[in-house]
Chain A
Amino acid sequence: MKSWKLFPKIEAIAKYVECYWFLEKESFNEGFDFPKLNPDPCSHLIISGLDRSFEYMYAANSQTVSGSHWIFPHVNTFTMDHSDLFRIIGIKFRTGALYSLNLKKSIVDLDKIEAVDIKHLVGSKTFSGDFLLTNAAEQEKQVCNILDNVLLPWLLESQEDKHSDLVRHILLLLSETTVTDIGDKLHRSQRTIERSFKRVAGLSMKQVKAMIHLEEMLNYLYQLKEGDIDWADVANKYGFSDQPHLIRHLKKSIGKTPASYAKQRDLAIDIYGNFEFN
C-alpha cells in the first residue's frame, strides 16, 4: 500500500481544493477488501485509468463507474469494493466549491458517483491521468505541480456570489460555533444563512457540522486501541449530551454501534491510515 497527501501551492487553487491524495493497492494480500467511506460534505474528483471499475454501495443502492469519477457529497456511508488492485489520485474540493465552478446542478445530487472526462472538465489539452498515475507513487511533488498547472485555468473561471461569500464565512465558524451564534456573528438572520448554505453546499449546516465532528471523532478514535477508548469521554469531547446520543449517531452515520465499530475498524481511515501522518 502506498499513499500520500499534499496541498496545492497556489492560493487561487487552495481556495477550492483542500488537498491532493494518492492511494495504491499493490498486492492482493494487503488491506481489507471492503472498506467504508464515512459521510463527507466535500466532493472528491478521483483520477483513475479507464480499465478500472469502482463500486460504491449503501443500503440496497449500488453505483459502479469505470475510470475517473466524482464522489459527490454523501450523507450515507459507502462500502467500496477494493478487492482488486488499484491506483488512484484524489482531488478533494472544499465544501461548496463546486457551486462556484459552474457545477451547481451536480451537487444537488447527494450520494452520487458520476463518471467524468477530466480533460474535458478542465479544458486542458495536456491533461493525462495515465501520466499522473504512472508517476504518482514516486514523484508526488511533480504530480501536484502538474495538477496545480492543469487546474488553475479552470479554477480561475470560478464565479463567486453573495451566497458563496457568505458560506465561506460560515464554514470558518461552523465547527466551533452553534448554528444560532453564527447568524449573530455574521449579522444575518438564521433563515438567510441556512438558505445560502443549503444552496451552496447542498446540505444543511447541521448536516455538515455533524459530518465534520464525526470525521474529527474518527480521527481521534483511529489513534486509540480498542481497550483505551472511554466512550463517555468521547461523547463529551465531541459534543454529545450523553452516551446514548453518541451510539444513535454512530449507528445512523456509519451503521455500527461504538463497540462493534471499535472491534471491526473497517472505515477507509482504518484500512488505509490517516494520510496526514504518512
Chain B
Amino acid sequence: MKIRIRQYMVSDLDAVLNSWEVATRLAHPFMTDDFIAQEKINVAEIYMPNTDTWVAEFEGEVKGFIALMGNEVGAIFLQPDCHGKGIGKLLMDKAQGLHGDLEVEVFKENSIGRRFYSRYGFELLEEKLHEPTGQQVLRLKFKAT
C-alpha cells in the first residue's frame, strides 16, 4: 500500500472532480442534482485554479485531494473506497504542516466528514443556516499544539 501526497497538477482535474462528486453525493444526500452540477462547475473553474491543492495518490492513482486558501480548508474529498486507510489524515497533516491552525466548514448532516474532523481534533466554533440548501453548517477549528 503506497500513499503519496503531492501538489495538484492540471492533469489531475478529472480524477479530482470524480473523487469530489462521488464523495460529495455520499456525504450530502440532501443535495439536488442541479446544486451538484453547479458546484461541480465552480470546483473546476473557480476553486481549483485559486486554491493551494494537494492530491493523494494511492497505488499510483489520484484518489482524493485537499484544497487550501491559507489556513482555510476549502475542501477535502476522497474516493469512498479509500476511506479509513489514513489517507485523509495524511492530506490534513500536509495542511497542518503548512499552516498550523486550520478552519473548515462542514454540513451538520455530513456524518462522514464530521467524524473525520472530530477524530483529527477539530472543535466547534459555531453553527448556522446555509440558505441555498436549507441545511445547518458547522464551522470548526483545529488548534495546533
Question: Hey, which bits of chain A sit against chain B, CB under 8 A?
Answer: 125-128, 130-131, 134, 137-139, 141-142, 145-146, 148-150, 152
Contact = CB atoms under 8 A, between A and B. Distances in A.
7 contacts: A138-B130, A138-B132, A139-B105, A141-B105, A142-B72, A145-B72, A152-B70
Contacts of B139: 141-142
Contact of B50 (A128, A138, A142, A145): A128
A145 B70 contact: yes
Contacts of A126: 50-52, 68-70
A130 B70 contact: no
B49 interface: yes
Contacts of A149: 69-72
Nearest to B130: A138
Question: What DSSP secondary structure best describes chain A's contact surface?
Answer: helix
B50 A130 contact: yes
A146 B72 contact: yes
Interface of B: 42, 46-47, 49-52, 68-72, 103, 105, 125-126, 130-132, 137, 139
B70 A138 contact: no
Shortest Cβ-Cβ A-B pairs, 4 listed: A149-B70, A128-B50, A146-B69, A130-B46
Which of B49, B69, B105, B130 has the largest count of A CB atoms less than 10 A from its CB? B69
A145 B126 CA distance: 14
B37 to A, nearest CB: 15
Contacts of B50: 126-128, 130-131
B47 to A, nearest CB: 6
A142 B67 CA distance: 14
Contact of B105 (A127, A128, A130, A142): A142
B49 A134 contact: no
B105 A148 contact: no
B70 A128 contact: no
Contacts of A148: 70
Nearest to B53: A126
A137 B131 CA distance: 9
Given A127-B50, A142-B105, 5 more contacts: A126-B69, A130-B46, A131-B51, A142-B139, A150-B69
Nearest to B52: A126
A137 B71 CA distance: 20
A128 to B, nearest CB: 3
Contacts of A138: 130-132
A138 B50 CA distance: 19
Contacts of B131: 137-138
A146 B52 CA distance: 12
Given A127-B50, A130-B46, A138-B132, A150 B126 contact: no
Contacts of B72: 142, 145-146, 149
A76 B41 CA distance: 43
A150 B103 CA distance: 15
Contacts of A150: 69-70
B42 A134 contact: yes
A139 B137 CA distance: 9
A130 B68 CA distance: 15
A137 B137 CA distance: 14
A128 B49 contact: yes
Contacts of A137: 131
Contacts of A125: 52
